[in-house]
Structure 1
Amino acid sequence: MDNQDHFKFSNGVIIYPMLFVLLLWAIFWFEIRFGFDFTNFGVYPQRFSGLRGIIFSPFIHSGIEHLYHNSIPLFVLSAALFYFYKSIAWRVLVFGILLSGLLTWIIGRPAYHIGASGLIYVLVSFLFFKGIIAKHYRLIALSLLVVFLYGSMVWYVMPIKEGMSWEGHFSGMIVGIVFALYFRKNLPQPKKYYWEQEDYKEEEDEFLKHFDENGNFIENTTLDEESEEPVTKINYIFKKNTD
């Protein structure tokens, strides 16, 4: 029987990413509706008060275009994360936010760094390099899909666009690579089926009663027709051992 991978769809694959994205939109709506500006809750490098942005910055966006461009990749990538790496998905998300934010705080320019793009780069980097390291055909296919959809994002880890936090992108990419290496042993394991002789022990014991110690069939015994498939298997094992 062919091995089957432990890739299993669950409601969380869609629900968690959707709730996360909806939360971003709800926060943005709250800012617009009540006239707030949460920009000063972003990461401000080398400033003690700017450390709070490590937690809050992914939920803050400068405008609807900024939020829109982050929403789709965030949903797609986090859904892929929960589908292919369910056991470590929350750790990648939570520590991805914290570590990419901290690294941005260390290396960033003196300005407010906001937006979920740092986390997006964590996910892009992690999914790509994890699939390559895993050498699993489905995960490699996922890596290629990530490159196809978001490969152009690699250019934005460099300071090529004014007003864009390339430091946040660079930090996210580095954290994603580190996670891919750190979690390299956390791979979806194939289901294993052990067709060992002991699995048929009761059937084998019953079957062997019909033979003497030399392997000759005892004529005054009858085989159980209901156990046709197990007998066939045991008969193969028995003959193999007595040839």
Structure 2
Amino acid sequence: MTTILVTGGTGTLGRLVTERLRAAGHEVRVLSRHAQPYAVDLRKGGAGLDAAVDGVETVVHCATNQTGGDRKAAENLVAAARRAGVRHLVYISIVGVDRVPFPYYRAKLAVEQMIEESGLGWTVLRTTQFHDLLVRLFRALAKLPVVLLPAGVRDQPIEVAEVAERLAELAAAAPAGRVEDMGGPETRTFESFARAYLKSTGRRRPVVNVPLWGRAYRAFREGGHLVPERAVGKGTFEDCLAGRKS
């Protein structure tokens, strides 16, 4: 079986990818800032990163940081992968990174382009946002007396376990370039998802839709982050909520 390195292997997605790859019989190394023996800050690189990729055939790059640093992390990872002779680099990206001028999306698009031009065998999968992201968002918003939401925005969240399954399949296969996007099963208003969360947690809060401004907000309103023609996800937001306590 293949020796595979999963960056961000202790995170929401990376942990599930690691589990599936190991269940399939692969030798899996987990890289994160605090997971021994491959505790590496990708933004800094160094000898620890070289040791992590040494002897690895495939890298699944799940590590990301919404506060910045993804470009530098990818630059260091690609350089180390080249030195080690890695044959396949699999990257998880987001639907709409080429349509929504949001800083985090722009960084993800830049990483996609870096990987495509790396000279390595590569696969890029774009998905819509995970259910978990909406849950974290609504949990934070529900701490206030009023839940304030961006007016006119719809979303299409997907179950992270389904994405992990797909990434594990791609990691075990040959480099495939940009593969078909994965979208969640339903496209609904933010308000609809927020009310479902409030109901499931027994919280009573007024929900207010607030018009915002800017190019990124306009792109979200226009559905640049959606892929209704690829609504391949099975698990709904309500399914996700049913498995949670808060």
Same fold (TM over 0.5): no
Q: Give TM-score scaled by structure 1 length.
A: 0.26
Greater CA radius of gyration, 1 or 2? 1
Higher share in strand: 2
Higher share in helix: 1
Q: Give TM-score scaled by structure 2 length.
A: 0.25
